[in-house]
Amino acid sequence: MRAMILLPVRPLGLVAGLLLWTATTGAAADRRPNFLFIYTDDQRWDAMGVAQREEGERARFPWFKTPNMDRLAAEGVRFRNAFVVSSLCSPSRAAFLTGRYNHLNGVVNNHTPFPTNSVTHATVLRAAGYQTGYIGKWHMGNQRGQRPGFDYSASYIAHGRYDDCPFEINGVSQPTKGWVDDVATDFALGFLRTNKAGPFLLVVGFKSPHGPRTPPERLKSAFAGEVCRPAVNRDAKPPYLAATGGAGVGEAADGSQDRLNYFRCIAGVDENLGRLLAALDELGLAENTIVIYASDNGFYLGDHGLGDKRSAYEESLRIPLLLRYPRLGVKGAVVDEPVLNIDLAPTLIQYAGLTVPGQMQGRSWQPLLERKSPQTPLEWRTAFFYEYFFERGFAVPTLFAVRTDSAKLIKYKEHDDWTELFDLARDPYEMKNLYRETGAADLRAALDAEYDRQKQATGFLLPVYDAETGEPSGEQPLNAWVLDYRFNKDDGDKVADASGKGNDGRARNVPLAEGRERGKARRFEGTGCVEVPKSLSLNPAVRDWTVEVTFKADAPDGVLLAHGGASFGYCLALEDGKPVFTVVGKSRSSRVAGRDKVTGAWTTVRASITPEGLLLAVNGAPPARAALGSRITREPSDALQIGDDLGSTVLGAGKPPAFRGLIESVRIYSGKAP
């Protein structure tokens, strides 16, 4: 039986020859490095020529060649134990950006837009004077527009397509011609040439080798006739399939065209990596640029009888990770300590000479890279926590795991009987579940305790779930004001948020005006609104939610505030002069209305969503009440607008017109309002 590379019981560190900065250290203080982070979609850890050669007789596809990835490994460092904390496209991308676990960064699935007010490596570097660019695949649901935190973006919506994919350039769509990762590389080369004076951060997200796998025309016959060796653990299927008799996401046969297309797409990426490295050489940037190459998650190629990723076996968690920084003086080194995707942001920030934000949970790789020798004592993680949250259409249930240097424990939500325990030192392919073996009692106790320690260390908080679908549907309430607009500290069209959550808005054709008692208000004439970007703190998919608006209406009908659309959302409006609060959950509408007309007078309306129903209070009077048919269980697709309801409307075709009059303040509370 072939065996996977055995993982060390204790971290082995860098191979002999890994050096600290020497004479370059002084120069490094004078020149901040550039950063080029390149990552693929669904490239497993061993889908590189250098990894296949190292596997030797265990290699499943020894014929696969990646000369440019191999060049990076030879000219820098290869991390042999690199992992993601959630093996799914959007969550992993959010973890790379924020340095935080997904239960905290707001992206736990593939259909949630990335919160635009997030603190990321891009926002920190940009504030410090870096030019920041994002090229290629972003995903995060169907999120559109310029990528948050980046000065420049050339990206596409969701998965895009392999051929002639439209790209949004700073949010403006334009057609392109050619294979999508070639086109992305063209944009990346343009960014490098434009910003060669530096310092810059450039992130390049390739689509390959995500399905449907379509290689460029020049590689459609590559590796013809080659066959992948079957996975040793192909019959060791996960308990949730065995228990239900269900099937996982299938994977193409080992010699099929689709399987070969997986490698052909990666070969196309390798060619484009070569183009980027050549450009760094040509522009004289290579010496001062930290190049990092990775993937957003691993991938099953028949391992455990599976395709796709998501679950917590090694082939899903492990990713390729290469780093080159010539000024380190390190070549051909390997690191065996476990590193995570949440480590990227702290690493970039620390190498830029900046302070890593306290909310980031990852660790900079600098101590690993600058150690004198493998024997130098180093405090580093020996275990980490893993999480995955169920998505409709996929068999993998919500699960959590802890992985140490030599063992793994996997727990399935509400299914204790599926719990798995593996001794990775003896069973690297995870074929024998030891959890109920008498002889593994000590290992089980140790892993149970480590699981609890790691889970607590992450600040774990289970997202609220949709009872019908089982999908995460929002965060726990923040029990705080998450938006507070008073307009008296606005700067032109920028609307300042005084809540401390950073939810600043943008006024569109609603100028500042004089309010009461020398205060300020915004004048609405039915032709504009205030747009508020989406953010985690503004997600109303919590148990309690309150909005409060103070206004003076000139017309009897008009939208005061709206967030969401016909599936999930809420709207506070005037209808025939009376305030009406409407909530839509799962396309079911509920509403509560005020008793009196308020047109022409200064009015404060507070409307609340509670487990007991809807409340609407006018000027502090006892509230009107109504039943809530279905609560908001997912973040609305459309962002919040004040003064209108744009896009998919909460009230449908019968919505009131845009608001006319003055609005003095708008406040939103996440949780049970004070």
| Residue 74 CB neighbours (<10 A) | 14
Written as one letter, the residue type at 453 is R
Count of Cβ atoms closer than 10 Å to residue 168 Cβ: 18
* HEC sequence for 94-163: HHHHHCCCHHHHCCCCCCCCCCCCCCCHHHHHHHCCCEEEEEEECECCCCCCCCCCCCEEEEECECCCCE
Residue appearing with tokens 């780093």:
323
Task: Give the residue among 328, 325, 330, 262 at the shortest CA–CA distance from 295.
Answer: 262
pLDDT at position 471: 65
Element counts in the chain: helices (H) and strands (E): 13, 34
Contact yes or no for 240/418 (Cβ under 8 A): yes
Question: Which residues, other chains included, contact 318 with Cβ-Cβ below 8 Å and sequence gap of 6+?
Answer: 44, 45, 81, 82, 83, 298
Please tell me the predicted confidence (pLDDT) of residue 275: 98
Query: Which residues have C-beta within 8 Å of that of residue 291, sequence separation ≥ 6?
Result: 36, 38, 72, 76, 276, 277, 280, 322, 323, 324, 325
In the chain, which stretches have pLDDT less than 70?
A: 1-30, 243-248, 374-375, 464-475
| Element at 385 (helix H, strand E) | strand 383-388
Q: How far apart are CA 551 and CA 532, in angstroms?
A: 18
CB 600 within 8 A of CB 660: no
Q: For 468-493, what is each residue's pLDDT tens digit?
A: 456 666 567 888 999 999 999 898 89
Distance set, CA 17 to CA 51, 287, 326, 330, 425 (Å): 20, 19, 14, 8, 27
Q: What is the structure's pLDDT at 177?
A: 97
Measured distance between the N- and C-terminal CA atoms of the chain, rounded to whole angstroms: 65
Cis ω for the linkage preceding 67 (within 30 of 0): no
pTM above 0.85, yes or no: no
**Exposed / middle / buried, residue 57 (Cβ in 10 Å: 0-12, 13-18, 19+):** exposed
β-partners of residue 293 are 38, 322
Report whether the peptide linkage leading into residue 397 is cis, meaning its omega lies within 30 degrees of zero: no
- Asked if 21 and 28 count as a contact pair (C-beta separation under 8 A), the reply is yes
Measured CA to CA, the distance from residue 562 to residue 554 in angstroms comes to 19
Q: How far is CA 202 from CA 356, 405, 536, 646, in A?
A: 19, 33, 25, 33
What number does CATH give the domain 33-367?
A: 3.40.720.10
Task: Look up residue 299 and give its two tokens.
Answer: 């991938």
CA dist., res. 51 & res. 68, Å (int): 13
- What lies within 8 Å, CB to CB, of 580 at 6+ separation is 572, 573, 574, 591, 592, 593, 594, 616
Contacts of 100 (CB under 8 A, 6+ apart): 342, 359, 360, 361, 362
b/e string for 173-196 if b means 16 or more Cβ within 10 A? Answer: eeebebbbbbbbbebbbebbeebe
Secondary structure E strands in 539-651 = 545-553, 558-564, 569-575, 578-585, 588-593, 602-610, 613-618, 624-626, 640-642
The Cα–Cα gap between 237 and 241 comes to 7
Tell me if 420 sits within 8 A of 428, measured CB to CB: no
Task: Compute the distance between CA of residue 622 and CA of residue 617 in angstroms, rounded to an integer.
Answer: 6
The pair of three-digit structure tokens given for residue 640, joined into one six-digit string: 């919040």
pLDDT tens sequence across 625-634:
999 998 888 7
∠ CA 407-409-413 to the nearest 5 degrees? 165
User: What is the secondary structure of 216-285 as a DSSP string?
Assistant: -GGGTTTTTT--PPPPTTTT---HHHHHHT--------TTSHHHHHHHHHHHHHHHHHHHHHHHHHHTT-
Pairing of strands 520-525, 512-514: antiparallel
pLDDT tens per residue across span 300-321? 999 999 999 999 999 999 999 9
User: CA torsion sign, 269 to 307 to 397 to 401?
Assistant: negative
Q: Using the 8-state DSSP alphabet, how is residue 376 labeled? A: S
At residue 23, the pLDDT reads 30
Which candidate, 379, 321, 450, places its Cα nearest to that of 50? 321
**Would you list the domain boundaries of the chain?**
33-367, 474-670
Nearest 5°: phi and psi at 668? -135, 135
CATH class of 474-670: mainly beta
Q: Exposed e or buried b for every residue in 333-369, given b needs 16+ CB within 10 A?
A: bbbbbbbbbbbbbbbbbbbbebebbeebbbbbbeebb
Q: List 400's β-bridge partners, or say none.
A: 387, 411
CB neighbourhood size of 171 (10 A)? 11
Token pair of 263 as six digits: 């490698």
Q: Which residue type does 427 have?
A: D
| β partners of residue 292 | 37, 323
- Nearest to residue 485, comparing CAs of 565, 551, 581, 545? 551
Cα 33 to Cα 29: distance, rounded to the nearest angstrom:
10
Evaluate the omega torsion of the peptide bond into residue 212 and state whether it is cis, within 30 degrees of 0: yes
What is the 8-class DSSP label of residue 491?
Answer: B
- The closest of 108, 100, 102 to 358, measured between CA atoms, is 100
